[in-house]
Amino acid sequence: MSVHGHLPQTHQRPRGRLARWLVLLVFCGLAIQFFRVQILKHTTYALRSDVNRIRALPIPAARGTIYDRSGRVVADNVPGYSIAILPLSIDSLRVVLDVLAPILGQSEEKVESLISAYRRHPNSPVTVESDATFAEVSAIEERRATLPSGIVIQAAPKRRYPAGPVAAHVVGYVGEISDTELRLAEFQGYEPGRTVGLTGVERVYERILAGVPGTRYVEVNALGRLVGAFRGRETVAAVPGRDLYLNIDLGLQELAAQLFPDTMAGAIVALEPNSGAVLAMYSAPSYDPNTFVGGVEPAEWRALNEDPGRPLFNRAVSAGYAPGSTFKLVMAAIALSGGYAEAETKMPIPCRGALLYYGRVFKDWKPSGHGSLDLNGAIRESCDVYFYQLGLRIGLEEVLARAPEFGFGRPTGVDLPSEISGSFPPSLAWYDERYGRDGWTNSVVLNLAIGQGENVQSPLKMAQYYGALASDGRQPTPRVARDGPVAEPAGRLPLDEEQLAVLRAALVEVVNAPGGTARGSRLSRWTLAGKTGTAQNPHGEDHAWFIGFAPAEDPAIVVAAVVEAGGHGSSAAAPIVSRLIDYYLETLETEQAGVEVAGG
């Protein structure tokens, strides 16, 4: 039988048969699995295969232009390029970044931050440079063949701030959205990598200015390299953002920046009293918002953040200063409205340079004293001894209770981010809590009366209060944008027209009458009214305040200025305010003349 003599074994046939059935069984099993994957789950996998090869690339929308009140450009766009990567993995991203970093001049730190951004959002394209120069783009294009795949260069409008540091704090700047911001309600629906307004008007009016980015669909391979446009889905065009007009007068803003002493810190706020329109707002030291366009290098960001002058900080709305003597007008208003004093009311103790209260000496700023003054004279000469006694007459409890009626202890509601609410003790219990029941005495009212003590206000808040004094007592919410959403209804000072007139008359005397603290800053063509302030500064020279408005008969502008460590309000702050008001009223006059000529 057998060719070689090894006889077949008896089990050979049944075991072979069994093996054949095993083959059949296993192949049926494989076929069933293929049926499950290819037929039953076909829809899922077909979708996956499409998703696999199609990437949605955002088309950036051009932001709306920001204009000042007369149509001068505050922020606009210029053509630019953005460079993004569609990475597959951390490793492939690192390879691409290692090649790109020298071309784009990016630091190791920046590369690391991009990698961690990818780690957090692995499905979004990584924007390496949202403001690439033409030279950088050409350098990349030249080396395209040797560069790793997945680099996308596209035209992206780039923000430009022609006014630079002059309007930095008002306008703010744009930058790539951070993870913290992505979680905020105001940025709901935003995707990582978007350029958004990070502060100032750019941030508050983000939804108006931003527009809606479009989407284009591209086909990519497994390496992330673009194969071409995907024809299966229409490109969605970007909708440009809307333009925004501000109440800011760029000319006034420029003058404010120019007048402010170069080496000093502080803030200037100019408002239109009747409308609350913010005409100018300057915070010193300032910064150039153009630095932030396209992302700021970490080292540069640190330098700005760690600068002891804190240039990024908008002192006009975010800094709290003791209001000093400018607060005397609040005391006077409380006294008038509560019937504690009239314009001619004198205090029992005439000013001899200090007041002795329960064994403690409370000094007047003028060592020789002011003699016996009425309310009008006390405001004019800023007599501390008078206001000590006025504070005692009104009583601490009443002062604390009435201040909120004049708008203190809450923010103005201006359309800018990070406004502080200021602080003013809300009640006697607050003192108990802070110092203990026996840790403080009634004498705190003496300090409050002259704008010291636990009283901290922003320049904007004080400007708003003086604006209300300048107009009919209404306190409209300050507005930087002219056509932003309608502000909340204006508050109102609890003062009648007669009482307002008393206060205004005193403020006119401050600047114009002999003995007035700001007589040096009076204007020839207009009646300037205002109040100086010198706030004690525990860290050095006093902070100088001046808040003024003009023309006193029908005020068109109110300006508050604080010069940190500037010394006396009359010398450091009042001249700035006086010149700004002069400039503004003159411009206004020219404009009106122009309108009349055109109309006639």
Partner 1 sequence: MRDRVTFRISDPVILALAFSLAVFGVAMIYSAGELDVPSSVTGIWQKQAIWLAISLAAFAAVLRVSVGWLEWIAPAAYAAAILGLLAVLVVGSGAGPRSWIRLGAIGFQPSEFAKLATILMLGRLVAGRERPPDSLWDLWPYLTVVLLPVALIIAEPDLGTASVFVAILIAALYWSGLSVSKLVLFLSPLVSLALAFSTPLWGVWFLLVVGFLYWTRSYLTETLAVILANVAMGVVVLPAWRSLASYQKTRILAFVSPEADPQGAGWHLIQSQVAIGSGGWFGKGFTLGTQKRLAFLPEQHTDFIVAVVGEELGFIGICLLLLAFAVLLWRILLIAERASDRFAAMVVFGIFACWFAHVVANVGMTVGLLPITGLPLVFLSYGGSFLLVSFISLAIIQRVCAEEKSGA
Q: How far is CA 300 from CA 172, 305, 315, 489, in A?
A: 17, 9, 21, 42
Q: Does 41 bind partner 1 (CB under 8 A)?
A: yes
| Contact between 346 and partner 1 per CB under 8 A | no
Cβ of residue 266: shortest distance to partner 1, in angstroms?
A: 55
13 touches partner 1 by CB under 8 A: yes
Q: Which is nearer to partner 1, 150 or 193 (CB)?
A: 150
Question: Is residue 134 close enough to count as binding partner 1 by CB under 8 A?
Answer: no
Measured from the Cβ of residue 475, the count of other Cβ atoms closer than 10 Å reads: 20
Closest approach, Cβ 179 to partner 1, in A, equals: 22
Nearest approach in angstroms of CB 120 to partner 1 is 16
Contact stretch for partner 1 (CB under 8 A) within 28-36, 478-486, 489-497, 572-580: 28-36
At 489, the amino acid letter reads: P
Nearer to partner 1, 70 or 89 (CB): 89
Minimal distance, residue 224 CB to partner 1, in Å: 10
Query: Site for partner 1 (CB under 8 A): which residue of 23, 135, 185, 598?
Result: 23
Q: Which residues pair with 479 in a beta bridge?
A: 277
**Sign for the pseudo-dihedral over CA of 120, 137, 295, 200:** negative
Binding segment (CB under 8 A) for partner 1, from list 2-10, 356-364, 438-446, 559-567:
2-10
Binding flag, residue 37, partner 1 (CB under 8 A): yes
Least separation, in Å, of the C-beta of 51 and partner 1? 9
Residues facing residue 105 across a β-bridge: none
28 or 78: whose CB is closer to partner 1? 28
Q: How far apart are CA 461 and CA 323, in angstroms?
A: 10
String of contacts with partner 1 for each residue 205-244, x by CB under 8 A: --------------xxxxx-x-x-----------------
26 touches partner 1 (CB under 8 A): yes
Q: Can residue 6 be called a binding residue for partner 1 (CB under 8 A)?
A: yes
With CB under 8 A as the contact rule, the residue among 39, 135, 185, 597 that binds partner 1 is 39
Which part of the chain contacts partner 1 (CB under 8 A), choosing from 25-33, 248-256, 295-303, 395-403?
A: 25-33
Nearest to partner 1 of 9, 368 (CB atom): 9
Options 2, 146, 263, 524; binder of partner 1; rule CB under 8 A: 2
Q: What is the DSSP letter of 313?
A: S
Which tokens hold the place of 528?
A: 């300037």
Residue reference for tokens 């400018």: 326
Task: By CB under 8 A, tell whether 31 contacts partner 1.
Answer: yes
**Cα–Cα–Cα angle for 342, 345, 351, rounded to 5 degrees:** 140
What letters, b where the CB count within 10 A reaches 16 and e where it falls short, cover 268-286? bbbbbbbbbbbbbbbbbbb
Separation of alpha carbons 336 and 502, rounded Å:
9
- Min dist CB 40 to partner 1, Å, is 9
**73-132: contacts with partner 1 (CB under 8 A):** 88-89
| Binding of residue 52 to partner 1 (CB under 8 A) | yes
Q: Segment near partner 1 (CB under 8 A), from 12-20, 94-102, 138-146, 571-579? A: 12-20
d(CA 292, CA 295): 5
By CB under 8 A, residue 592 contacts partner 1 = no
**Nearest CB to partner 1, comparing residues 89 and 427:** 89
CA angle at 29 for the pair 24 and 35, rounded to the nearest 5°? 125
Please state, in angstroms and rounded to a whole number, the distance separating the CA atoms of residues 566 and 265.
Answer: 9
- The residue range among 32-40, 324-332, 455-463, 500-508 that interacts with partner 1, by the rule CB under 8 A, is 32-40
Q: How far is the CB of 124 from partner 1 (least distance, A)?
A: 16
The owner of tokens 């760690």 is: 306
Measured CA to CA, the distance from residue 141 to residue 122 in angstroms comes to 25
Name the minimum Å distance from CB 7 to partner 1. 7
Tokens of 64: 């709306």
CA quadruple 20, 22, 23, 29: dihedral, nearest 10 = 150
- Evaluate whether 169 touches 384 at the Cβ level (below 8 Å): no
Could you tell me the two tokens for 583? 């400039």
Of residues 482-501, those binding partner 1 (CB under 8 A): none
Minimum distance from residue 38 beta carbon to partner 1 (Å): 4
Interstrand relation of 66-67 and 244-245 (parallel, antiparallel or unpaired): parallel
Three-state DSSP at 485 gives coil
The CA-to-CA distance between both ends of the chain, in Å, stands at: 132
**Binding piece for partner 1, criterion CB under 8 A, among 37-45, 231-239, 439-447, 523-531:** 37-45
Query: Which span sits near partner 1 by CB under 8 A: 38-46, 238-246, 280-288, 446-454?
Result: 38-46
- The per-residue DSSP string of 556-599 comes to -EEEEEEETT---HHHHTHHHHHHHHHHHHHHHHHHHHHHHHHH
Q: Taking the C-alpha atoms of 526, 530, 534 and 537 in order, what is their torsion angle to the nearest 10 degrees?
A: -100
Query: How far from chain centre, in Å, is Cα 566?
Result: 25
Beta carbon nearer to partner 1, 16 or 489: 16
Contacts with partner 1 by CB under 8 A lie at 1-9, 11-13, 15-17, 19-20, 23-24, 26-27, 29-31, 33-35, 37-39, 41-42, 44-46, 48-49, 52-53, 88-89, 219-223, 225, 227
